[in-house]
Structure 1
Amino acid sequence: MSPIYTTQGSTSVKRSHDELLTLDLSFGHPPGKHLMAGKFDISEALYKMQSSIKQCKWKVSLEEHVHVVLAATSILLLTPNKYLDKIKHFFDLKDWNTAISSVKMMYDIQPPPTPLNMEGNAFKFVKGLSVLIMKLPRFPIVEDINETELCTRFVDPLLMGLFDDPDNGVYLRRTNETTMEAKQNNSCIDHCPDLCITKSCGEKWGADCGYGEAKPAARDNDHFLVCMDLLRVALLSKESLDKQCLDGVLGVQIVGRTLTFYVLLLPAEEVYTLLQLAEVKIPDSLQSLSHLIMDISTILCLMDVFDRLCVPTDE
């Protein structure tokens, strides 16, 4: 295991210490059948991103190299509509868009009317919306709110309606406790996630098929912490997919009232793709509730991805 070059950059809120990640950099060429997008070799491009890390002699900021840092863990972060300078060395714009489209096509990820369970998911959405309505203030609150209030008043009511389904053994759980190992190592990665979506197995908890990290809106400009949350969600999802043999794992990054959804997939050997699905903003009051209704097609697609892909694999 080798320390990787991540520290807060000029765009981050300054802290009194650097934070290092310990990642395994002993990777080689991807084995087996490569992931292709037309004639473009996605597996080879990911390997080149991994290899570029070994050539760096100095620490650089995580927020400016999040795609490359994730590549060191064999995770390819696919962000539609975001084509950063660090990606240009490995994917040109055409190949980048083709790679995203290929993964979406492979897993049939597209808006309704494709979802087969659209009526059931629409009912769950309406149910979750009714819970959210009971929690929302009548008028916007000007003052900043902390993470606990953000989650209990805005985030949890919506996510409970979308993914919490006790009748089918699926539970949205609050798990934001620090493990003993994390306390000893003072590590950001070893912290428990703020929330997870768990399927029960009889009287015990079963597979974790979703993870989420939350930060209040006041931390929106701390890009280091925001990227660290994304990294934590990605690594937890990868571990869950491997150990619990799932087809996919849902990831939710929460910054203020904006929720960014991802799904981690394994389309080829040692090539994990973290595909950004959508951004959904929770209304700040009953006055702006209609804005959420405009996202119903997107939300139904998210629920369909979770129902179809975040399940035990057949292979």
Structure 2
Amino acid sequence: MYFDPILSALFCDPEKSALLRCSNIIAGETGEMRLDGTTSKLSQRELGPSRGFGEVKLAHPSTDKHALCHDLLRLAIFAKDTVDANKLQAALTFQINGFNITFFLTRLRQENGLLTFPRSLDELASFVNLKNIHTLLAVTDTFWRLCRTMKEEEVDI
């Protein structure tokens, strides 16, 4: 209730055909799973593709960390699916816990690598090849370059 006017001001714009719906809804990309909120593109009177999602937990003295983590995982899955299905550059998700709100931007830049591991010792020789070694080196390079704490000068404001 407190967040609705702020979120609506951020994500609703009739000129850009954008709508934020905050209710227990099923979005097209989520199958049968329900969300607390979704941002969608409007096309005439029809709802178009989703651009983001939200989950809400009310303020309680003992917050269930498992439920918060489960909601975060659901948001990540929904965001990835909507980026893939709707060919978006990114999807914005938010998680409300009591009076705190956290925003996440999910952006798929590239697939870093795909390998098929050997199912037996007979297939091991075909696994060890130059292409797979390059893929593993690219994945480890990506990990060590990007999966780290950002320095102060790298943070965009």
| Alignment TM-score, normalising by the size of structure 2 | 0.64
Total equivalences in the alignment = 112
Higher fraction of strand? 2
Is the CA contact (8 Å cut-off) linking 1:210 and 1:237 kept in structure 2? yes
**Equivalent position to 2:16, from 153, 168, 190:** 168
1:156 alignment counterpart: 4
Compute the RMSD of aligned alpha carbons: 2.5
Structure 1 residues 172 and 232, CA gap change in structure 2 (3 angstroms)? same
2:92 alignment counterpart: 250
Is the CA contact (8 Å cut-off) linking 1:249 and 1:264 kept in structure 2? yes
Structure 2 gap segments, 5+ residues each = 114-156
Task: Give the distance between the partners of 1:246 and 1:172, measured in 2 at CA.
Answer: 17
Is the CA contact (8 Å cut-off) linking 1:220 and 1:226 kept in structure 2? no
Aligned-residue identity in percent: 32
Task: Give the distance between the partners of 1:223 and 1:178, measured in 2 at CA.
Answer: 24
Structure 1 gap segments, 5+ residues each = 1-151, 180-188, 272-300, 302-315
Secondary structure of the 1:238 match is: helix
How big is each residue's C-alpha offset from its partner over 1:225-258, in whole Å with a ceiling of 9 and x where there is no partner? 0001101111111110111100000010000110
Higher relative contact order (CA closer than 8 Å, sequence separation 6+): 1
Is it true that 1:227 corresponds to 2:69 in the alignment? yes
**Equivalent position to 1:197, from 39, 61, 73:** 39
Structure 1 residues 270 and 172, CA gap change in structure 2 (3 angstroms)? farther
Secondary structure of the 1:221 match is: coil
Task: Give the distance between the partners of 1:227 and 1:248, measured in 2 at CA.
Answer: 21
Secondary structure of the 1:247 match is: coil
Is it true that 1:268 corresponds to 2:110 in the alignment? yes
Q: Which amino acid in the other structure matches residue 37 of structure 2?
A: L
Structure 1 residues 171 and 177, CA gap change in structure 2 (3 angstroms)? closer
| Alignment TM-score, normalising by the size of structure 1 | 0.33
Is the CA contact (8 Å cut-off) linking 1:220 and 1:255 kept in structure 2? no
